Amino acid sequence: MSRIGVFVCHCGENIGATVDCKKVAELSAGLHGVVHSVDYKYMCSDPGQTMIKDAIKEKKLDGIVVAACSPRMHEPTFRKAAQESGLNAFLCEMANLREHCSWVHLKDDSTTEKAFELIHMLVEKVKKNKPLFPIKVPVTKTALVLGGGIAGIQSALDIANSGHQVILVEKDPSIGGHMAQLSETFPTLDCSQCILTPRMVEVAQHPNIKLITYAELEAVEGFVGNFKVKIRQKAKSVDEKICNGCGDCTTKCPIKKIPDEFNAGMGYRAAIYVPFPQAVPNKPVIDRAHCTWYLKGGKCGLCEKVCPTGAINYQQEDEILTFEVGAIVAATGFDIKGTDFFPEYGYGKYKNVINGLQFERLASASGPTLGEMKRPSDGKTPETIVFIACAGSRDSAKGIDYCSKICCMYTAKHAMLYKHKVHSGKAYVFYMDIRAGGKNYEEFVRRAIEEDDVSYVRGRVSKIYERNGKLIVKGVDTLLNSMPMEIEADMVVLATAVVANHDSEQIAQKMHISYDAYHFFAEAHPKLKPVETNTAGIMLAGACQAPKDIPESVSQGSGAASKVSCLFSQDVLTREPLIAEVNRSAPPLYSTCVGCFLCQSVCPYMAIETEEIRMRDGSLIKEVARINPGLCQGCGTCVALCRSKSIDIHGYTHQQIFSEVVALFNRREEYETV
Amino acid sequence: MIKVGYFPGCSLHGTAIEYEESLRSVCAEFDIELVEINDWNCCGATAAHSLNHLLSIALPARSLALAESQEFTEILVPCAACYSRLLSAWADITQDSKIRSKVSDIIELPLLGTAKPISILEFISRYILPELKEKIKYPISQKVACYYGCLLVRPPNLVHYDRYEDPLIMEEFVKVLGGKPIEWGFKTECCGAGLSVTRTDLVGKLSGKILEDAVLRGAEAVIVACPMCQSNLDMRRKSINNYLGEKVDIPVMYITQAIGLAMGIEPRKLGTKKHFVSMDKFIGNFRLGQVEHSKAGEV
């Protein structure tokens, strides 16, 4: 005989305004097995919780149903209250009267009836609940940081400085990311490399950081506190330990006309190269897709001949490195659209139409023009330059509905840098809105307009075409009575949309984290869990989550690091025991499992093992599935697939679900009799 | 003999008669019969869709319904404006069954949307292009400007042509004909369209800019596939010359005329004499080219 308590919450007006809570409580009191049923304005408040605790003790309740908001909000609150009064936390269930009922229906008798039905289902379920006990797992206090841009660097340094080990993995030959490519930074116009490179060096020198460059994530297994990660170290073809970084190989390499990724295609590099002078590590790698030795079967070999230390190793192979880590920070960064994405701006066929990152390289002292304003087609100084903001962004026709966030600011910066270098030049900025929300941001844009005489035109550019060596920019000034305007420009810079990396979907899938429609990684909650993912133990930092500027990326990098440090401050983690189990029974059956192992093939966490049930003399009776409680995440895929119904999830057993369904089907009868 | 449903619209029976003449002449060479939709009516043009959305669907839908009753699955609509109206109506009725039944009630005809309008570019790609190369007798060797105007490859959500800002499809045809299409910036700019009558000065400016760029880049002819574009670029030369302050004599011909010329069809059958700006010089140069070409062949 059960002794169930029902607690109906009004949630102020949230539930109370549409559901007749008092009536619901009265109806619930009549349900079979319910010995206590009350309603109250705020169950989650201190007095509300005390009501629950007292009722459990006084009425000797052996199960409670709190009918309130989503269990995602207050389930821990009520479970804790139950625990404190001596009831196992898993004998507390929540009926979601708010998100599933009052918020989505109008005030009506049928809404009240639905609320009662929801409670009825949970009452029947809780009768079948069994006490469960949290699972304890150890924590490996090493973090993996994926991505060596500013967000990843910040994260790695913060975790390392709090005394934990960090493995920092970067796909390029050097850390630094996009920030290393920037000329100056807004809103202070200080040199990007000058503020970044000390951090890069710190990473390289830090005793707690193991830096792995030119490497990619291969696979992630396990769970929070106990991940097993596989990293593919791509063959650098240079033995880092022997190489002294003299640079003879890169200067002698005959293949010199490869578009340089670091210079956004504005310059060239050799087939054996160091991406930029301040690279960390400052050791070259061979680009096998362009190197003659690999393309023409062992010809050339010049770098090997000139290398004074014999560090070149053409035979080096990719290597799979395996690490055990307790937490992962994904800081894989972003990409920006190329000019070829824009049919109206020439599909990338005009040399003097470039994107923002290419302009950064033009303006940078370490760039292909050593910071001089020279346009790509003929090296002349552009006298008239047009910047187009929102190129692709906020444009549903282009499939990019969101704001790329950084462009307003960097476009103002670009226009300013141009004016500082070419005093006689004329700079136009076409914009939709100026979004300069940030400390000293608005002032920065005003400075561009007022002090540096940049002409801001509110309107879009419909077309660019080339005529007599000039780019004809056709646009409209919507503040001047929508006057069409044509500008003869020498160079055009498109502030192209910030997008997710091309392989971000695959990376997310490898880590088992979710991502949004634009393939940016998804945070666990847009407001309250902005640095965590839905997969415990995996955090996000930087623009892999959404477009972000440097201060924001750094903040989130530190935020992710702090989350990791919190995790590592515990020696053991407790996990909810809501995991699957394959049943075991008395001989001669031993288990209803027939050993088809369909479950094994679908388990995304590889948590299902084969167990041999043997007689005492060692002879095999049968092979059945067994679920590793350390690996199981309780997703339930195996339960759905099991043909003999041999797997159950604790807390959501077949019996419990079935009781709920039966309650729902029998409801009419019960409702009427009550 | 392939039979294809054909919606001429008002232009191809009137001001653009040479478009129809050249189209039919070319089709005859490919053993294609164009069968006019029985009792077709006005597509609604600019007027209907500016006034009443339902009317703008119902007018072309009637012609679509009639084409269905003649069991056509495709209707060739050579006029770009008619094509846009018919395609828009077709998209509306095939995407929304409520609109379809409503329109069906209005026109008092069964309407399923089984007859899809196709543009002249799609038609050429599908029926002409595959065997065109072997039928070319006199390759065009001149530089020409392929001009699309506003409606031939747009709007993108209707026509689903991915290079709608910088189409290359006519250029492909011209290359098969042996011509040299120029790279220019006015392929899809507005010619002035329906302002031809009310604001001829504006048409002079808009069309003038188009011709100016074509001439500047060395084109000897403009190739079009829209009667409206052709008439503005060809007929409004007075306003155009006024705007430009100089006389431009570049001829404007239909893609079907260009194909016909290259195939060696007699100019008479292609309506080349029906333009305001004479095509004689172009054809002269072209024939000169042919002579040289055949001489080169003999050697």
pLDDT for position A670: 54
Of A347, A466, A467, the CB nearest to B166: A347
Rounded Cα–Cα distance for residues A47 and A603 (Å): 44
Q: Which H, E and C letters describe B130-190, residue by residue?
A: HHHHHHCCCCCCCEEEECCCCCCCCCHHHHCCCCCCCCCHHHHHHHHHCCEECCCCCCCCC
Looking at CATH, the fold of the domain delimited by B134-298 is given as Rossmann fold (3.40.50)
pLDDT of residue A11: 95
Contact A343 B166 (CB under 8 A): yes
Distance CA A335, CA A38 (A): 56
Contact A467 B213 (CB under 8 A): yes
Query: Closest Cα partner for B180 from B228, B233, B137, B217?
Result: B217
Q: Smallest CA–CA separation between B55 and chain A, in Å?
A: 27
Degrees, nearest 5: CA angle B59-B64-B69: 130
> Does the distance separating the beta carbons of B166 and A463 come in below 8 Å?
no
Residue A573 CA to residue A567 CA, distance in Å, equals 8
Cβ distance B166 to A466 less than 8 Å, yes or no, reads: no
Residue pLDDT, tens place only, A265-298:
999 999 999 999 999 999 999 999 999 999 998 8
Instruction: Pull the structure tokens for residue A82.
Output: 């139950």
A397/B contact by beta carbon, under 8 A: yes
Separation of first and last alpha carbons in chain A: 20
User: Closest Cα partner for A219 from A630, A512, A520?
Assistant: A512
Q: Which residue of B has its CA nearest to A341?
A: B163
Global confidence as pTM: 0.81
pLDDT single digits (tens) A360-402: 999 999 999 999 999 999 999 999 999 999 999 999 888 999 9
The pLDDT of residue B299 is: 39
Look at the block and give the residue holding tokens 């495709």. B74
Give me the mean pLDDT over the A255-259 stretch.
93
Q: Are A432 and A381 in contact (CB under 8 A)?
A: no
- Taken as a whole, chain A contains a residue count of 674
Write out the residues of chain B at the interface with chain A, using a CB-CB cutoff of 8 A: 156, 163-166, 184-186, 189, 213, 216
Q: What angle do CA A567, A569, A573 make, to 5 degrees?
A: 55
Q: What is the pLDDT of residue B298?
A: 44
Q: What is the Cα–Cα distance from A102 to A71, expressed in whole angstroms?
A: 15
Q: Please give the ipTM for the structure prediction.
A: 0.77
Per-residue confidence band for A668, with pLDDT thresholds at 50, 70 and 90: low
**Cβ distance B171 to B129 under 8 Å?**
no
* Per-residue pLDDT tens digits for A504-530: 999 999 999 999 999 999 999 999 999
pLDDT at B297 exceeding the cut of 70: no
pLDDT of residue A223: 85
For chain B, residues classed under CATH 3.40.50.11810 are 134-298
What is the CATH architecture of B2-118?
Up-down Bundle (1.20)
Which residue, A521, A494, A495, is CA-closest to A508? A521
Minimal-distance CA residue of chain A relative to B163? A343
Which has more pLDDT, A665 or A667? A665
* Residue A225: both structure tokens together: 């506190």
Q: Please give the backbone phi and psi of residue A635, each rounded to the nearest 5 degrees, phi first.
A: -75, -25
Give the H or E element holding residue A550.
helix A550-568
Closest CA of chain B from A342, distance in Å: 9
Structure tokens given for A14? 């949230």
Rg of chain B taking only CA atoms, in angstroms? 19
Asked if B217 contacts B182 with a C-beta cutoff of 8 angstroms, the reply is yes
**Chain A residues with CB-CB distance to B186 below 8 A:** 465
Question: How many residue pairs from chains A and B have C-beta atoms closer than 8 A?
Answer: 21
pLDDT of residue A63: 96
Instruction: List chain A residues with CB under 8 Å of B185.
Output: 463, 465-467, 472
**pLDDT at res. B288:** 63
Q: What is the pLDDT of residues A610-639, one digit of tens each?
A: 999 998 898 998 999 999 887 888 999 999
Q: At what angle do helices B169-177 and B255-263 cross, to 10 degrees?
A: 20
Residues B201-229 have pLDDT tens digits of 999 999 999 999 999 999 999 999 999 99
pLDDT, mean over chain A? 94
End-to-end Cα distance, chain B: 39
Residues from chain A contacting residue B189 (CB–CB below 8 Å)? 463
For residue A346, give the chain B residue with the closest CA: B166
pLDDT at res. A248: 93
pLDDT at A648 over 50: yes
Token pair, residue A365, equals 């002292």
Work out the pLDDT band at B70, boundaries 50, 70, 90.
Answer: very high
Residues 413-472 of A with CB under 8 A from B: 463, 465-467, 472
Domains of chain A, CATH where assigned:
4-134+655-673 (3.40.50), 135-234+318-333+506-571 (3.50.50.60), 235-316 (3.30.70), 336-499 (3.50.50.60), 580-649 (3.30.70.3270)
Residues A142-182: pLDDT tens digits?
999 999 999 999 999 999 999 999 999 999 999 999 999 99
> Does the pLDDT of residue A347 top 50, yes or no?
yes
Task: Name the β-bridge partners of A238.
Answer: A312
State the span(s) of chain B assigned CATH 1.20.1050.140.
2-118
pLDDT tens track for A83-117: 999 999 999 999 999 999 999 999 999 999 999 99
DSSP string, A112-123: HHHHHHHHHHHH
Q: Which residues in chain B are contacts of A470 at CB distance < 8 A?
A: none
